[in-house]
Amino acid sequence: MEDFASLVGIPGMAFDDQNICVIEYEELVLEIAFVGEEAGFVVRHPIPPGSLPPTDNALSMLLRANGHSAARGLGSVAFDTERGELAWFDRIALRGLTADGLLAALAWAARGAGLWRRELVRLVDDDRSRTADASAAAGGDGDMMLFRG
């Protein structure tokens, strides 16, 4: 980690007592957790509450997207049981990893986390737009739907 810290110009960069190092890369917060020599690093990006569209098929959409993302090596989203929130995760193997390699891996991780973040925002915006359109069609003002009988 010292070589990486020197490469990116952050002297003293280190893991905390829980083996986590938090960095910001291209405006994304990435948590790098050292989980062991065999497993390497796990990279995590928290997903803000309300980032999943509140639709009946949100879980189905998430699982399909996870499959596509994992197949392309762009990580996946899962429920973090320790923190009780959704998060994007990926893994970086230690074998043969150099400071330059870690920088490249974190750039790739930021790309994956960023794609997920943008896609979830798009899905939520699309869902809100459909909800507003349905409300307007029913004579509502976008915030409230009145039922008359």
Helix axes 58-71, 99-137, angle to 10 degrees: 150
pLDDT score of 45 more than 90: yes
Measured in degrees and rounded to the nearest 5, phi and psi for residue 15 equal: -85, 145
pLDDT in tens, 116-130: 888 877 777 776 666
pLDDT in tens, 10-43: 777 788 898 898 988 888 899 999 998 888 999 9
pLDDT in tens, 90-100: 999 989 998 89
pLDDT score of 133 more than 70: no
The single-letter code of the amino acid at 145 is M
pLDDT at position 88, please? 92
pLDDT at position 138, please? 47
Mean pLDDT of the chain: 78
Domain spans of the chain, in order of start: 2-137
Higher pLDDT, 87 or 68: 87
The single-letter code of the amino acid at 16 is D
The single-letter code of the amino acid at 27 is E
pLDDT at position 145, please? 32
CATH class of 2-137: alpha beta
DSSP conformation letters of 79-136: EETTTTEEEEEEEE--TT--HHHHHHHHHHHHHHHHHHHHHHHHHHHHHHHHHHHHHH
Nearest Cα to 34, choosing from 102, 107, 113? Answer: 102
